[in-house]
Structure formats: C-alpha cells, structure tokens
A and B are shown apart, each in its own frame.
Chain A
Amino acid sequence: MSTDGTFWRAAWIGLAAFTAFGLILGIAGKHPLQAYLDTGAYVLGSLEGFTELFVRMGPLVMAALAVAIPARIGLFNVGGEGQIYMGALFATGAALHLAQAPSWLLLPATIAAGFIGGAIWALIPALMRVAGVANEAITTLLLNYVAPLAVAYQIFGPWRSPESSSYPQSPRLAEAATLPVLPNTRLHAGLLIALACLAVFAYVFHRTRWGLEMRAIGGNRTASQHLGLPVRAYVLLCMALGGGIAGLAGMAEVSAIQGRLVAEVSPGYGYMGFLVAWLAGPSARAIAGMALLFALISSVGDILQITQRVPFAVVNILMAAILFSVLCAGRRR
C-alpha cells in the first residue's frame, strides 16, 4: 500500500466530505465558506486557536490507540469512552488519597492509576470474550454507560467537594498531581505521552516479533491458534493495553485540563477515537494525521456554534460523511 496513494485518497475523501457538509449547511441556511475561513483565521491567527488543536489531538490519539491495538488482532474496542472515564476515576482516587505523598511519587502514581483504571475496564469485556460469553463490541459499549455513572456517583457522594456550594465535583487535585502545562496555553504533557505511546505502538507492531504475531492473529485466528500462538493471552493483553492508554487520556483530562473530577470528563473522545482508528488503519502517521484532522473539525464546530448559531452536534454530520465515504468506497455491487 503506497503511502502516496493513501494520502491522496484521504485528501480526496476529506474534500468530498467537507463539500457535502458545506452543502448541508447551505441548505440549512448557514454560510459554510465563511465558517471555514473563520476557522482558518482562528486556528492560524491566535495562540489559543492553534494550541487547542493539539490539546484536542492528545486524547484523540490515545483514544485511537485504544481501538487500534485490539483491532490489530481483530477485536472491536468501542469502549474507549468508558475507559477514559474509569481512568479519570482511578487517577482522581489516587491523587486524593495520596495527596500527602511527595511530588515525585504523586504524579507517577496518578498516571499509573489512570492506566490501571482504563485497563481494568477493558479487561472485563476481554475476559468475557475469552470465556466465549459475549462479543466485545457489545460489552464495551454497555460499559461506556456504566463508567460515567460511577464517576457521577463518586462526585455526588463520597468525593463531593465541600466548597462550591456542594456542586458535584471532586476537590481540586494537588499541584503535584497535575501534568505540566505550557504556560499561557492549555497544552499539556498528555500530548507527549500520547505521541510516545504512538511511537511505541508503531515500533512494536511493525518491527518486533510480537507485532508479527498480532498481525497473524488478526489475519487468521484459527490458523494462529493451530500454530500455537497464545491467542487468548494476546486478547487480554491488547485489550488491557488499549484500555490503559484510554485511561491515560482520562487521567490527562482530569489532571491537566479540568483540574478535578467533574461529571463530563470527555466530550466524546472515545467515539471519535474509534473513528480516527477506523479511518487511519495501522499506520501511526495516519493516526496522528487523522487525530489532527478531527481536532480541526472540532474547531470548525466551535466556530460554527459561535458565529452562525449552529449546534455543535452538527459536526457529527461531517464526521459521518467522511466515514460513509470510506465505508462505501470499498466494494460496489
């Protein structure tokens, strides 16, 4: 698969989708071209606009990895959203309970807790899959709804901050538990973590024996089993890794962006990550590129909302357009 070919194909799909979206907006009485221009001005013309792209890109890359890693062995992890929430939950728990710990311990512990939270949440469906009980697409989806409820339970109850008129949110996390942030922006170390995970994934998948085994399992599970590959172990491992990375995204949102645990940890990064991974395939560069594209689309949504009173949810149409183009470009009958 030539990278040139995929790049042009992606560009073509992007163009088609933006045009279709523009048409729909036009029919609805809005001004798509003006919106696109405004977005360009915002993204290129202001520090905030520019850095926001990368602020959004970090969690998207991590959510995409949460899907991409299990996908390599043929699994569908649609539970990124729930894993993000559980990562946020566990990270908050660690930061609150270990608040007295020295800073060199607190931040790594918070990060580790975030990973563990997400990993556990992905392991439940993985175990059910290995036991032959249920397809992970359904179980991960169901757990997506349980996780935010668990977060809500904590912030309305045991972790409710006594200040702020009992508004349901946790107390502020200690300074020592927050990821470093680039001053005057919201750009935080989470992006570095995301890119590091991406690099490791690319290396392992393309250049190690484990990656080769994953590709074998993904290609033909039965044959791999007959060859003696530990398929079940890979199922558990890949789901746990994917969930853990999503958990890191949740940790980053709590630690660097919100500063505390709130009811809405993620604006749908889990689902967007699924789409990024779906569109990008196994290529790390494509994942990074798609994540940036989705971040850009989100900025379009922000601008549309402010300047043209279009509900933000409408960007979903654009994303759906991109997806359906890809899905239907496959085989025509």
Chain B
Amino acid sequence: MIAALLIASVAAGTALLYAALGEIVGERAGIINLGVEGVMLVGAACACAVGAMSGNPYFGVLAAALAGALISLVFAYAVVDCAANQLAAGLSLLLLGLGVSALIGNPFVGAVMPGLPSLARMDALVALVLPLTALIAWGLWATRWGLQLRAVGENPTAAFAAGCNRRRLQYQAIALSGMLSALAGAHIALGVAYTWAEGMTGGRGFIAIALVMFARWNPWGAVAGALVFGGAEASQLQLQAHGVDVSPFVMNMLPYLLTLAVLPLTGKRGRLAAPAALGRPYRGVE
C-alpha cells in the first residue's frame, strides 16, 4: 500500500513540481505570476488538441510548451514593459488562460487522446522532472545568466547598474516559466487523465504558488513539497479504496491548510528567503 501511495503521489505531484519550478524561475527574477493556473490549462488544452490531431502525445507536449511560452508573453509585456501591478496582471492571465483553453479544448472533449506511454507508471514527463530540477538549480546558481536573473529579482537597480539587461532577463524568465507551467498542464492531460475537460487543473496552479513559498524558492525544496502536496491529494482516494473512512473534503483541504500552516514557520526567516524585489514593478532609474 505504501508503494501504491508513493506512485500515486509521484503521479499527482509531477504536475505540481513542473508548475512550481516555473514559478520559482519567475519569482527569482522578481515577478510573481498568479496566472499559473491559466497557463497550465492552456498547456493541457494544446496538448490534447495537438495530441488528438496528430495521434502523437509528444507533439502534444511540444505544442503545449510552445503555447505556454506564447501566452505568458502577454503577461510579460504587461508587467515588464508596462510596469503593471503583477497581482492584477496575473489574475488577468488566469482569466485569459481559462477562456483560451476552453476555446481550444472544446472540439476535443471526449476525443480519444493518445496518452503518454509509460513504463512502470512513469511517463516521459515524470522521468524528466528530476533532471530538469537539477538543470534549473544549476542554471540559477552556477551560471552567469542565473546570477544576473537572481540579481534582477533582488535589486533591479543595482543589477541595472552592473549591466544586466533587466528586460531581457525577465522576459526569458517568464517565457521559461510559461513553458514549465504548460508542461504541468500537459502532464495532467496526457499523463494522468487522458482527456480534456474545462478547468481540469482544479486549482493546482495556486497550490504550486503556495508550494514555492513552502519550498523557500529552492528547486529541491519544491521536489519535497510536491511529494507532500501530491501525497495529500493522492492519499485521499487510496485510503478510500482501502476501505478507510476518511472525508474526501477534509483530505482535499490538506494541501492548502498545510501551506497556510507552514507560512508562519517560514515567516520571519522565510521572508528573507524571498527575492527582495519580488512583486515590485520596476519603474526605472529615476
């Protein structure tokens, strides 16, 4: 039963991890994106649409990644170039994603979807996620690009003075973040549910945002968090199947309550772990 629970947690947590990794990249560059859910949905819808049309799930995944990056550019333009309020822009992205995904996915509801082939319940996206985590961690802390990106997130004025191209770096971060969130959606669509349904991500985008705080903006912390959060979600159904009487609603609340509970723990110290300029629109040197 433990093995089954672990496998189910990995299946549920993979999407969370992809989305969280994307959000970490974005937030490390100083941008908080509340629209992750919308991008995930667009990724799911595109994965289903292209997958169903082409018969090949991998094309679907690629299409999803591309679509995620593209739709995030709208958000990027608003927050990077127009210095718009990031929270409002994020929610607008959420709405855009909800609507666009419904439009794209509508003709494909109920269509036979090619699922991602899996070996021992692990599909390609699950297998890729840990190497990807390592890549992102390396990218952020061992490369010059990563250093500049984090500098922009900590102190954009100083970064500007040091010659970093804030605009380019934030656009890159947002595009990358969009790609990863879309991959999360693609996994839910083609790796877990094998179908498209409106709003199928069910709030996981917001769990991912919480996960980033839980993980203290660290990719490896996100891995642990994704297992915990995925586990909370998976265990509820596993327990039911085992005959244990547990309220599905209380179990479903757990990820959110867990996040709220750990916020005070990361509280005073945790806030110092956040990129210092997170959420502040950059108004230029004046």
Name A's B-contacting residues (CB within 8 A): 24, 28, 76, 78, 128, 131-134, 137-139, 141-146, 149-150, 152-153, 156-157, 271, 274-275, 278, 310-311, 313-321, 323-324, 327-333
Contacts and interface: CB of A to CB of B under 8 A. Distances in A.
Nearest to A312: B102
Top 9 A-B pairs, shortest CB-CB distance = A316-B99, A317-B99, A313-B102, A320-B96, A327-B84, A323-B92, A153-B249, A320-B95, A316-B95
Main secondary structure of the interface of B (DSSP, over half): helix
B118 interface: no
A322 B252 CA distance: 34
Contact of A142 (B91, B247, B252, B256): B256
Interface string B75-105: 0011001111101110111111011111100
Contacts of A324: 74, 78, 89, 92, 96
Nearest to A272: B95
B13 to A, nearest CB: 17
A163 B93 CA distance: 42
Interface of B: 34, 74, 77-78, 81-85, 87-89, 91-96, 98-103, 106, 167, 198-199, 203, 206, 209-210, 213, 247, 249-250, 252-253, 256-257, 259-260, 263-264, 267-268, 271, 283-284
Contacts of A317: 95-96, 99-100, 103
A330 B260 contact: no
B77 A315 contact: no
Contacts of B98: 313, 316
Nearest to A141: B206
Contacts of A275: 91-92, 95
Contacts of B203: 145
Given A138-B213, A271-B91, A321-B96, 12 more contacts: A78-B34, A138-B210, A141-B209, A142-B260, A144-B206, A310-B106, A311-B103, A317-B95, A317-B103, A323-B91, A324-B74, A328-B77
Contact of B91 (A145, A149, A274, A321): A274
Nearest to B283: A331
A305 to B, nearest CB: 11
A320 B247 contact: no
A327 B82 contact: yes
A150 B78 contact: no
Contacts of A76: 87
B92 A139 contact: no
Contacts of B78: 324, 327-328
B34 A128 contact: no
A150 B252 CA distance: 10
A311 B198 contact: yes
A313 B256 CA distance: 25
A327 B88 contact: yes
22 contacts: A78-B34, A134-B267, A137-B87, A141-B206, A143-B260, A152-B249, A274-B91, A275-B95, A310-B103, A311-B102, A314-B102, A316-B95, A316-B98, A319-B95, A324-B78, A324-B89, A327-B78, A327-B84, A328-B78, A330-B84, A331-B82, A331-B283
Contacts of A138: 209-210, 213, 263
Which of A128, A145, A317 gathers most chain B CB within 10 Å? A145
A165 B174 CA distance: 50
A327 B74 CA distance: 11
A141 B198 contact: no
Contact of A313 (B77, B198, B260, B284): B198
B230 to A, nearest CB: 16
Contacts of B271: 132
Contacts of A133: 263-264, 267
B250 A145 contact: no
